[in-house]
């Protein structure tokens, strides 16, 4: 199987090795084409974003205005803070020049002179590796003014790395742009979309690191070649990060549409101790979890997972064996979204907290099955009622974990608990079981 | 205590300014530089950042308090960060966290008396394939056991 994003070539992170393996040839080719041709090729290739929403990349690019009255920007999202997702760092470490080449081609296609690569702050090591690669590219004339000479064109672009500082929300595109502008990472109301009103109010395209890294091979080998790899509606390879109860956790680049079971059993070495699978989250913690008995025939592409009742997300597969306590897992997930909610929208700011507290009440042995309904109710009031998708991301795991594993959650609740007042969120402050006391348990 | 940037850092800030069309945009990297020089971000540091970038101090404050990697109090020489997100807890992160707490005698966001260690329970660090993991200052340590963590902590001078 051919690998597109992480080819098995030793020392590919050295520029000379990269050059010896067709490095920067796609960029050379791109400069002989018009920007419309490139956008057209990417559109026809069927490439879809690898950051979670699986939106058509070429279509996104075509939203950029053609006029040049304002500066245009490219943002590359390497925030990678979705729990279960650890793929972009492999690109920073093992194939940084392909990412840079992809950025150059994208800048040319959308008419951007500056690209910002946003990398999460915790990735100190990978930021250094990436900065090295950027510096070398400048030195060798693949970025900046010197690239005009290298490529024999009148186009040039700059690439800057912006280091995040530990906020999950900055992976959301409009929040990421606010963060680059030096503000709190608050998501913006859309529309206007980034293509109209992005960085500093200028037209901006924002793509995931993996998406951009796919661009050079598409330009080099043509859209037809790419469109034939993997699932027809979601072509190409995807970096699947497998974690949890498997023998060989790690990142595996496989064609889209690979069977989920095959990834777990064949590539990740199966479940530790040969245990059964209780639950799999197929695309990072925001995506709806699947039951172990739901996995048969599920393929890892956007369409197939949608049919199965989940989503591809970032391709971070979290595997939980039969002995996993799903209440503990859900408490941890809810804590995460409570902690990371930026606080702008009331349903998310308050709802994530209530979900965490209610789950902790169940953990303390003080929950009834009404609490399970309450949790689903709170989740349904967050979903769709917030500026950004963090609300949905917080609501889905709760809603789907409880509905899909209701039998298990019923075991954790105790229907003998007497709650003196009706079990509604606003009245929880007045219950005989003060929530504050639960923290100690 | 008055804070001023070193000459070298002022040069770095100058270079950073050139990457962005506004000086406000340079605030995040400049806070990092200040944190490296001073160890943490105090009121005085925020004032100096605002001065250097010609922005309002409130802009600095709002950013410092939003992002978790900026510290407004001194942290230990070794800032130990234990990930306890899903992929890590499935592989025993809570046992690791408990043993680190016990060994260092401190809890989340506390500093040992000698100022050598501080501890933080962090969200997913993007090392799920190497779970459980901890990070000490800027370095990741993956595929850990309680014994390995102990060894790592003992090796720190």
Domain of residue B108, CATH code? 3.40.30.10
A266 DSSP assignment: I
**Residue A63: inside a domain:** yes
**Residue A232: inside a domain:** no
State the average pLDDT over residues A410-431.
Answer: 64
Evaluate if residue A420 carries a pLDDT over 90. Answer: no
- The answer to whether the Cβ–Cβ distance between B128 and A249 falls below 8 Å is yes
Q: Are residues A304 and A409 in the same domain?
A: no
Q: What is the pLDDT of residue B1?
A: 77
Q: What is the pLDDT of residues A238-250, one digit of tens each?
A: 999 999 999 999 9
CA-wise closest residue to A45 among A66, A59, A30: A59
Chain B residue whose CA is closest to A322: B90
Evaluate if residue A424 carries a pLDDT over 90. Answer: no
Percent of chain A with pLDDT over 90: 93
**What separation, in Å, do the N-terminal and C-terminal C-alpha atoms of chain A show?**
52
Percent of chain B with pLDDT over 90: 98
- C-alpha dihedral (A313, A315, A321, A324), degrees to nearest 10: -40
**Residue B71: inside a domain:** no
CATH number reported for the structural domain that contains residue A56 in this entry: 3.40.50.11540
- The answer to whether the Cβ–Cβ distance between B20 and A182 falls below 8 Å is yes
CA-wise closest residue to A258 among A218, A215, A223, A305: A305
Q: What is the pLDDT of residue A419?
A: 60
Q: What is the pLDDT of residue B157?
A: 82
Query: What is the domain count for chain B?
Result: 2
| Chain B neighbors of A324, CB-CB under 8 A | 90
Confirm or deny that B62 is annotated as ligand binding: no
Sort residue A389 into left (φ over 0), alpha (ψ -120 to 50) or beta. alpha
Query: What is the domain count for chain A?
Result: 3
- The answer to whether the Cβ–Cβ distance between A200 and B87 falls below 8 Å is no
Q: Are residues A241 and A218 in the same domain?
A: no
The minimum CA-CA distance between A168 and chain B, rounded to whole Å, is 9
Candidates B25, B70, B85; nearest CB to A182: B25
CATH number reported for the structural domain that contains residue A424 in this entry: 1.20.1440.230
Contact A267, A259 (CB under 8 A): no
Q: Are residues A220 and A82 in the same domain?
A: yes
Evaluate if residue A1 carries a pLDDT over 90. Answer: no
> Which is more confidently placed, A431 or A397?
A397
Sort residue A284 into left (φ over 0), alpha (ψ -120 to 50) or beta. left
Evaluate if residue A142 carries a pLDDT over 60. Answer: yes
Candidates B28, B89, B129; nearest CB to A241: B129
B15 is in which domain, residue-wise? 7-66
Query: What is Dmax (Cα atoms) for chain A?
Result: 78
Candidates A86, A160, A242; nearest CB to B19: A160
Question: Sorting pLDDT into bands at 50, 70 and 90, what band is A431?
Answer: very low
Q: Are residues B85 and B109 in the same domain?
A: yes
Q: Are residues B89 and B143 in the same domain?
A: yes
Summary mean pLDDT of chain B: 97
A297 is in which domain, residue-wise? 237-321
- What b/e readout covers B98-111, taking b as 16+ CB neighbours within 10 angstroms? ebbbebbebeeebb
Q: d(Cα A189, Cα B104) in Å, to the nearest integer?
A: 45
Evaluate if residue A169 carries a pLDDT over 90. Answer: yes
Q: What is the pLDDT of residues A87-116, one digit of tens each?
A: 999 999 999 999 999 999 999 999 999 999
Q: What is the pLDDT of residues B34-75, one digit of tens each?
A: 999 999 999 999 999 999 999 999 999 999 999 999 999 999
**Residue A205: inside a domain:** yes
State the average pLDDT over residues B100-107.
Answer: 97
Distances (CA, A) of B76 to A233, B96, B136: 51, 19, 10
Q: Are residues A167 and A279 in the same domain?
A: no
Q: Are residues A312 and A337 in the same domain?
A: no
Confirm or deny that B124 is annotated as ligand binding: yes
Confirm or deny that B94 is annotated as ligand binding: no
**Residue A5: inside a domain:** no
Q: Are residues A410 and A312 in the same domain?
A: no
CB pairs under 8 A between A and B: 142
Q: What is the pLDDT of residues A148-164, one digit of tens each?
A: 999 999 999 999 999 99
- What b/e readout covers A189-228, taking b as 16+ CB neighbours within 10 angstroms? eeeebbbebbbbebbbbbbbbbbbbbbbbbbbeebeebbe
**C-alpha R_g of chain B:** 18
Q: What is the pLDDT of residue A250?
A: 97
Evaluate if residue A439 carries a pLDDT over 90. Answer: no
């Amino acid at each position: 199987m051919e690998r597109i994003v992480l080819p098995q070539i030793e020392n590919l992170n050295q520029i000379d090795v990269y050059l010896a393996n067709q490095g920067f040839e796609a960029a050379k080719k791109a400069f002989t084409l018009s920007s419309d041709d490139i956008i057209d090729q990417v559109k026809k290739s069927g490439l879809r974003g690898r950051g979670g929403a699986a939106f058509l990349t070429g279509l996104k690019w075509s939203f950029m205005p053609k006029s040049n009255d304002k500066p245009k920007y490219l943002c590359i999202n390497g925030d990678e803070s979705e729990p279960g997702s650890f793929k972009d760092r492999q690109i920073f470490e093992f194939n940084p020049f392909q990412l840079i080449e992809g950025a150059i081609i994208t800048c040319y296609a959308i008419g951007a002179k500056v690209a910002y690569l946003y990398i999460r702050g915790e990735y100190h090591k990978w930021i250094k590796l990436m900065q090295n690669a950027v510096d070398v590219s400048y030195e060798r004339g693949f970025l900046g003014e010197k690239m005009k000479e290298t490529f024999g064109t009148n186009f040039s672009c700059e690439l800057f790395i912006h280091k995040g500082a530990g906020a999950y929300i900055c992976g959301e595109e409009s929040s990421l742009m606010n963060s680059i502008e030096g503000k709190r990472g608050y998501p913006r109301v859309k529309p206007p979309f980034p293509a109209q009103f992005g960085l500093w109010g200028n037209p901006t395209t924002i793509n995931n690191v993996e998406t951009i890294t796919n661009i050079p091979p598409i330009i080099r080998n043509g859209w037809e070649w790419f469109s034939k790899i993997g699932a027809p509606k979601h072509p190409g390879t995807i970096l699947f990060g497998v974690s949890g109860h498997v023998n060989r956790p790690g990142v595996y680049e496989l064609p889209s549409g690979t069977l989920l079971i095959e990834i777990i059993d064949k590539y990740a070495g199966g479940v530790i101790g040969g245990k059964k699978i209780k639950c799999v989250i197929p695309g990072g913690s925001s995506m709806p979890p699947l039951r172990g008995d739901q996995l048969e025939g599920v393929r890892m592409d956007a369409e197939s997972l949608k049919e199965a009742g989940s989503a591809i997300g970032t391709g971070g597969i979290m595997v939980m064996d039969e002995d996993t306590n799903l209440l503990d897992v859900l408490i941890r997930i809810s804590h995460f979204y409570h902690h990371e909610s930026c606080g702008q929208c009331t349903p998310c700011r308050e709802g994530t907290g209530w979900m965490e507290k209610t789950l902790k009440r169940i953990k303390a042995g003080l929950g009834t099955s009404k609490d399970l309904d309450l949790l689903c109710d709170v989740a349904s009031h967050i979903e769709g009622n917030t500026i950004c998708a963090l609300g949905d991301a917080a609501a889905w795991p709760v809603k789907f974990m409880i509905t899909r594993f209701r039998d298990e959650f019923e075991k954790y609740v105790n229907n003998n608990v007497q709650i003196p007042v009706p079990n509604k969120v606003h009245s929880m402050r007045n219950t005989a079981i003060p929530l504050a006391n639960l923290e100690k348990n | 205590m008055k804070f001023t940037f070193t000459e070298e850092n002022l040069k770095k800030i100058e270079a950073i300014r050139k990457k962005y069309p506004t000086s406000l945009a340079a605030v995040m990297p400049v806070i990092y530089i200040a944190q490296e020089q001073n160890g943490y971000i105090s009121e005085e540091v925020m004032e100096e950042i605002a001065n250097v970038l010609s922005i309002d101090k409130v802009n600095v404050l709002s950013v410092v308090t939003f992002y978790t990697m900026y510290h407004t109090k001194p942290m230990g020489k070794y800032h130990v960060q234990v990930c306890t997100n899903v992929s890590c807890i499935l592989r025993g992160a809570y046992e690791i966290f408990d043993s680190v707490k016990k060994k260092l005698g401190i809890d989340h966001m506390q500093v040992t008396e000698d100022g050598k260690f501080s501890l933080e329970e962090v969200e997913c660090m993007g090392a799920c394939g190497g779970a459980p993991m901890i990070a000490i200052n800027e370095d990741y340590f993956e595929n850990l056991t309680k014994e390995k963590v102990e060894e790592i902590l003992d090796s720190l001078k």
